[in-house]
Structure 1
Amino acid sequence: MSEDNLTAVLYKAQDLRLEQRPIPTPGHGEVLLRVGSVGLCGSDVSYWWRGRTARHVVKTPLVLGHEFSGTVVQCGPGVHTLKPGDRVAIEPGVPCRVCEHCKKGRYNVCRDVKFCATPPVDGSLTRYYVHPADFCFKLDEGVSDEEGALVEPLAVAVYSCQRAEVGVGRPVLVLGAGPIGLVSLLTARAMGASPICITDINEERLKFARQLGAEHALNVSGMSDKEAARRISQLLPRPPSSVIECSGADSSYRIGILAGAKGGVMVTVGRGNPDVTLPVTLLTAKEMEVRGIFRYANCYPAALAMITSGTVDLRALVTHRFRLDQVDQAFHTARDGTAIKVMVRVDRGGAGHGPTE
């Protein structure tokens, strides 16, 4: 094992430093991982740029990164499901396992969950990382480290589609063509939804969505909420029974309710204005349900199966790659809007540098 544990540490907004840290030792039920690839999430970028995400504030040095894969290099006592050399995708949220929510299977809303890269819990932009073995999922030989890192955002999409009751032949509206919106598009397609309409104000992202198989991609820039809903109704054969809001924009929530079917479901994946105003009278008259989405629960096996089987192919989403020693450049690229998904190769054997060819 190399003694090199280069780590990217955020001290405050826009103050990201590379430094060596001690290699941790796995405790009971834990494994020591050599981190492979780490995808940069919007929350990582917000911490880096603003020093906070929603109510979470960086008050002490923090290691970012929660979308990642790795290779087991050492097993702690009591680990029998993994061995050194196993490549794994890591579910980054570890709950208490004993509270009422955990025992009901909704461990994502456990009040004591420890989530990677959420203050004060360190994340994975480090060569070596310790994690509970029961939140590590083996990768098949044909699944790359990058695909392993993408299991995390895919799990968000799987959970969102489940909560939105996406089904075969049901029209779906996805609001927002960022990484989660695009992964939700792919997941809804894999679940048999048809047709799918996706909206955004960025034409390049909508073009990308069309390449991924969206039947309709609507640029709502400059439109009123009612005009956007009217255009959606013209594109789809009937109102969408499943609406997946991924942008966090006030207008998107309202468009979803205006365009959604009677008795339909809208799930709120995006996080925006906490005091958004909604057309509640219309929501009531339609008997639509609005369901919150907080990460995911019990979705990693399904997400991993989708990747392993080829049902969902996420490789095209990785538009830029960097090495760990280029991490500051990676964050700038993730923020400037030119990338879909930025991937940081932490394992020293990996390459990086700029956009994919």
Structure 2
Amino acid sequence: MSGAIQWRGLTWPAGGVTRADVELTTLGWNPEFEKAFAALAREGRFPARVAAEHKHAYVLFSEEGELVGEVVGRLLKRGPRSELPAVGDWVVAGWRRGDRARVDIHAVLPRRTRFSRRAAGEREEEQVVAANIDFVFLVSGLDADFSPRRMERYLALVEASGARPVIVLNKTDLCRDRQEREARVRALAGEAVPVCWVSALRGEGIEALAPYLRPGSTVALLGSSGVGKSTLANRLLGEERQATAATRTEDGKGRHTTTRRELLLLPNGGLLIDTPGMRELQLWRSAREGLLAVFPEIVELARSCRFRDCRHEAEPGCAVRAAVQAGALAADRFRAFCKLREELESLEAVGGRRRRRHAPKLPGRRIMRG
């Protein structure tokens, strides 16, 4: 690393970006962002990518080097929290008059993709976890904390984000029943979602991740605490940059070692967003599309229900419940779908009927027959 960035009592480890060694394409810049920036360009302004955030202060990567910026003007005062910069965003930055130590952030360029969840707390609010990501590595440990139900929740959000999911099963050195685990993962992910088996600690299977880490490509690491995200990040970085901690042996649960989302430059030119563990990942309204993608067999079965608005509870002629009773649909998978559907419907009820009217229908909410 190249030291640290300090500003107003805050300290970030520098990511090694200097004016001499970085090009925008290395950071993921493309013609789509170029066109969006051209409409907002002014003298003295330049594009930069958000690498880390702390309240309204941001570490930025740019051709000007590694900078610290603050949101100013209408961007700070208008709109919801989700419109503020998030890690991975491209922003319009400009030097503050008379101050070459920091920059102002004037605008956020339109996002290609965004991974969102409901923010913590009672207020209904979207939190953008990461933006402009190409792939999401859904990291799951193969130890005592292995959870297919949690994986379904993550998949629903990733499918809705616009990024492509890749399931990374870590800690293969601790797995004694690979065939059974593989069958459970394939049952929920299907054949379309790539599955990679790795041991980040031993460096085994890491080569399977290379196709997704091309120069200029952005990958986000997501998973609960203790699955080995920081160990995997260090393996990909080629150095011990991210703090790690051992999991509890009795239940496989880990402790938070990554405390903030951060964009990291990989030696091969790829970009990696490391995130803190999120054991409680609440859905956001955009996950409706993702839920349909994660449970395609239930969507298909629902087309054969006698009633178009069948909720698969006690209605006669329900094809979904019939499949469960016949053993053609796993009961735990059906329960998982119902739980996620109810969570989304509860969120929509709070959000109001206007937003609900324009959302795609879930099975059990007037699904059309095929």
TM-score for both structures, normalised by structure 2? 0.32
Q: Rg bigger for which structure?
A: 2
Instruction: Identify the structure with bigger relative contact order (alpha carbons < 8 Å, sequence gap 6+).
Output: 1
TM-score for both structures, normalised by structure 1? 0.33
